[in-house]
Structure 1
Amino acid sequence: MKDYLCEDTIAAISTPLSKGAIGIVRISGKKALEILKKVFRTKSGKPKETFENRKMTYGIIVDENNDEIDEVLAVYMKGPKTFTGEDVVEIHSHGGIYVVRKILKRVLSEGARLAEPGEFTKRAFLNGRIDLVQAEAINEIINAESELSLKVAVNHLKGSLSSKIESIRDMLFHLKAFIEAAVDFPEEEIEIIETGKVKEKVEKATEKIEKLLETYDDGRIIREGIKIAIAGRPNVGKSSLLNALLKEERAIVTDIPGTTRDVIEEAVTLKGIPVRLIDTAGIREAKDVVEKIGIDKTKEKLKEADIILFVIDGSTGFTEEDKKIYETLKDNPNLIVVINKKDQGLKVSCKDFENTCVEISAKEGEGIEVLSEVVMKKLLLEPETLFKETEAMITSERHKNLLEKALKSLQNMKKSIEYGIESPEFLALDLDEALNALGEIVGKKGIEDMLDIIFSTFCIGK
């Protein structure tokens, strides 16, 4: 895989396609330098035959008629010590949408192909510059929505998770050597199995995998965030609570019941954790088709939520309508009762509920910080200790599934030994399955069919 080298040269715009100070067109492949020489001129309009490796050169990009498109800074980076492992060129122009597109079009006219989403990173992986975990980490960095998710992604890019996976693979490869020796020298089978301490090694590898899997629940939350649904009857202050948590006014707040007819979703960070706040339509008997659709969506979102904030207007008390809704939610372990409008005087208190409960004033912002802390405790999250940069963490469902597959194979192997089935051929089958699953995580086994799926989630130009 390290010897892989694409025959064609690719190009794409690597900066956001919008107005800005700078726009970058990136080229990678064997013809990168050749293409640069064709489209680049010095400021005086003369062709430039030599470009110093990794040094910015000032000049202009010209069209097919040698008319100037834009003033640029161009840099040539000779492979294999580049991001993709190939020759790479970057053209830095002014950041207008039209001018950057025109430069890209000019580059494509000289023999480059438009890159597919994530193709630059895919080439970096295929050329052995990074492993598959690190390639995925680049996309995680781009999509990070909080300080914590960024730290985890950077940690993955540095190779913290890869090194953990590789250490387990090394352990199993050593074990495989003992087992293959037993196959090659059958008369020494029992002695080799005992000498190699197969069971102990399997148990040690199993413990390491289980420890990694234990990080997934927290890792998923760091990467994807928490889904918090705000529910309740109309006009109890759900939208006011949403605005208080966002610390800005996004939802319409009026005294008219049923103002929120659709589901409103907003992103916010609580205690460093990314959160998806879902302000739902008030739950009641719908008065028209539009409101019924909104209420149906509310019920769907409540099923998906990690936390449900059931909001009550404490100034009017616990109404019959509140009770009907509460009866459908009270058995949910992640329900938090939020008694709102504390500033107006409360006719109901947290003492009246067995569920976790917080008294607030969304309008005045009172109790919002306490509510944030209660949400963290409800999910058993401690943001201060959730992630340590020295430790690896599983955030990807793909990694989780493959670790579980490897774990199951090792558990089967251990059971075989305990049942007295010590045939090295049988043990080798389970061991190979575990090694293959771990190899898939870092991209060293059976990943050809997955590459297009994984890299299709990247942006073009990365």
Structure 2
Amino acid sequence: MDTIFALASAPGKAGVSVLRVSGPKAAQSALSLAGIVPEPRVASLRKLRDQNGGVLDEALVLFFPAGASFTGEDVVEFQTHGSISVVQALLTELRQMEGFRLAEAGEFTRRAMDNGRMDLTQVEALSDLIEAETEAQRQLALSVLSGNLSTKVESWRAGLVRAAALLEATIDFADEDVPVDVTEEVQDLLQAVSDGMNQELRGFEASERVRSGFEIAIVGPPNAGKSTLLNYLAGREAAITSEIAGTTRDVIEVRMNIGGYSVTLLDTAGIRQSTDVLEKIGIERALDRARQADIRIHLVLDLEKTEFEPLEGDIVCLAKADVPAEGFGVSGKTGNGAPELLEQVKHELSNRVQNSGLISRERQRNALMDGVRALDQAIILLPDGPEFYEVISEELRSSARCLEVLLGRIDVENLLDEIFLNFCVGK
């Protein structure tokens, strides 16, 4: 197996740069460059030298032995001064060592998975953590990366294995006088696993929204101040504003953080009857995107009248309320009511993620749903008696295999290249 290396910190000038080496010859890189293999997990300040003895830099060198490193292999890290020339010189030296090569995107993490340091759900969570922009995204990714989802899945799998073992023991001793009825214990095991798996599925939509972000559409008639409000909330001129009705012809999107949640605000075309072909297309798009959004902010000129029936969780407020007045109003021109509006949005988002789960990707959801279907079939057949125990056992094995797929232990090889392609080199 090759020993791989890469810059693990961000490229460019920095106070400190980190170069990571992993593989069977990792310790040799420390010996060649620093003249020493440090004690495990003890930082050693050393001069790094090239093949001719010339000093490249003075750096901290750390050694992590196999089984106690991120990848599960011998790992060496060089924490150097963050000079582009220093980094390039060290990469050149490593490239010239026999059996060493530059790591591919995500290869360190892939080796961690191959060596049992992580399962696929944790790999996906690590990717999400790197991409996290909000507090909610960070917390969700960190929870899965810490193994909370893996622990759940392993407990479900253990329950299925135990139930299958009880049934198969009954089958094996069918011809003997064994007065033990395992039906009740198996029923309890399967029901507990089913409840846990279904609860996780019910929380998928909320957790998926936390990971990918919510959409909130600002809707209302022309000249209700939608674009002005969008610009105020975004803190920049994201949309063109004008007194001319129909200025906004397409959906304008602005991504922002509201209360720790990733949100895409949508500024839509003013909803009205129009003979202008382009404006009509804009209105149709506005209605379509607004209905698909998670929440709609209805800006109205009359609190009793909205352009279409508000859905549960929608917010209705008086448009162009430049000064405080009776009723809930908001103004993008003066900012009146904007803090209260954001607080309402935050409250609604918090309610929606209250029962969120840990699975947040379609791949994970599909694997869990397949497992639930097989488990449901087993539960249906269980009351029919011992003559169906072999069929039930096979359904339980199928359900357990789906959990193995969820963790990435089987049948996911075709997905790995795509998943790791999204990682940076050095991670």
- Are 1:208 and 2:202 an aligned pair? no
Instruction: State the 1:276 CA deviation.
Output: 1.8
The one-letter code sitting in structure 1 at the alignment partner of 2:67 is P
Partner Cα distance (1:147, 1:191) in 2: 56
CA, structure 1 residues 360+206, in 2 after alignment: closer, same or farther (shift >3 Å)?
same
Instruction: State the 1:75 CA deviation.
Output: 1.9
User: 1:9 is matched with which residue?
Assistant: 3
- Are 1:400 and 2:359 an aligned pair? no
Q: Which moved more, 1:53-62 or 1:255-264?
A: 255-264
Partner Cα distance (1:286, 1:456) in 2: 48
User: 1:28 is matched with which residue?
Assistant: 22
Given that 1:252 and 1:259 are in contact with CA atoms closer than 8 Å, whether structure 2 keeps it comes out as no
Question: Which of 99, 103, 122 is the equivalent residue of 2:90?
Answer: 103
User: 1:354 is matched with which residue?
Assistant: none
User: 1:83 is matched with which residue?
Assistant: 70
Given that 2:18 and 2:78 are in contact with CA atoms closer than 8 Å, whether structure 1 keeps it comes out as yes
The one-letter code sitting in structure 1 at the alignment partner of 2:336 is E
Instruction: State the 1:84 CA deviation.
Output: 0.8
Partner Cα distance (1:368, 1:51) in 2: 57
Given that 1:310 and 1:335 are in contact with CA atoms closer than 8 Å, whether structure 2 keeps it comes out as yes
User: 1:44 is matched with which residue?
Assistant: none
Instruction: State the 1:26 CA deviation.
Output: 1.0
Instruction: State the 1:283 CA deviation.
Output: 5.9
Give 5+ residue unaligned stretches, structure 1: 1-6, 42-47, 351-357
Instruction: State the 1:214 CA deviation.
Output: 2.4
CA, structure 1 residues 80+250, in 2 after alignment: closer, same or farther (shift >3 Å)?
farther
Matches within 5 A, 1:404-423: 404-419=369-384, 422-423=387-388
Given that 1:182 and 1:189 are in contact with CA atoms closer than 8 Å, whether structure 2 keeps it comes out as no
Other structure's SS at 1:186 match = coil
Given that 1:21 and 1:95 are in contact with CA atoms closer than 8 Å, whether structure 2 keeps it comes out as yes
Partner Cα distance (1:278, 1:158) in 2: 35
The one-letter code sitting in structure 2 at the alignment partner of 1:16 is A
CA, structure 1 residues 459+422, in 2 after alignment: closer, same or farther (shift >3 Å)?
farther
User: 2:318 is matched with which residue?
Assistant: 339
CA, structure 1 residues 98+411, in 2 after alignment: closer, same or farther (shift >3 Å)?
same
Matches within 5 A, 1:128-167: 128-167=116-155
Partner Cα distance (2:78, 2:211) in 1: 33
User: 2:186 is matched with which residue?
Assistant: 198
Per-residue deviation, residues 394-434 of structure 1 (Å, max 9, x unmatched) = 33332222221111111111112245574222111210111
Partner Cα distance (1:298, 1:266) in 2: 15
Other structure's SS at 2:159 match = helix
Q: TM-score, normalised by structure 2?
A: 0.85
- Are 1:220 and 2:199 an aligned pair? no
Instruction: State the 1:30 CA deviation.
Output: 0.6
Other structure's SS at 2:332 match = coil
Given that 2:323 and 2:336 are in contact with CA atoms closer than 8 Å, whether structure 1 keeps it comes out as no
Partner Cα distance (2:403, 2:185) in 1: 21
Partner Cα distance (1:134, 1:35) in 2: 29
Given that 2:20 and 2:426 are in contact with CA atoms closer than 8 Å, whether structure 1 keeps it comes out as yes
Provide the aligned length of Structure 1 versus Structure 2: 423
CA, structure 1 residues 135+91, in 2 after alignment: closer, same or farther (shift >3 Å)?
same
Given that 2:108 and 2:426 are in contact with CA atoms closer than 8 Å, whether structure 1 keeps it comes out as yes
Q: Could you tell me the percent identity over the aligned residues?
A: 35
User: 2:255 is matched with which residue?
Assistant: 267
Question: Which of 72, 81, 104 is the equivalent residue of 1:94?
Answer: 81
Partner Cα distance (2:174, 2:181) in 1: 11
Given that 1:28 and 1:86 are in contact with CA atoms closer than 8 Å, whether structure 2 keeps it comes out as yes
Question: Which of 12, 25, 28 is the equivalent residue of 1:18?
Answer: 12
Partner Cα distance (1:203, 1:151) in 2: 30
Instruction: State the 1:343 CA deviation.
Output: 1.7
Partner Cα distance (1:93, 1:129) in 2: 27
- Are 1:181 and 2:169 an aligned pair? yes
Give 5+ residue unaligned stretches, structure 2: none
Partner Cα distance (2:337, 2:295) in 1: 17
- Are 1:438 and 2:426 an aligned pair? no
- Are 1:363 and 2:357 an aligned pair? no
Q: TM-score, normalised by structure 1?
A: 0.79
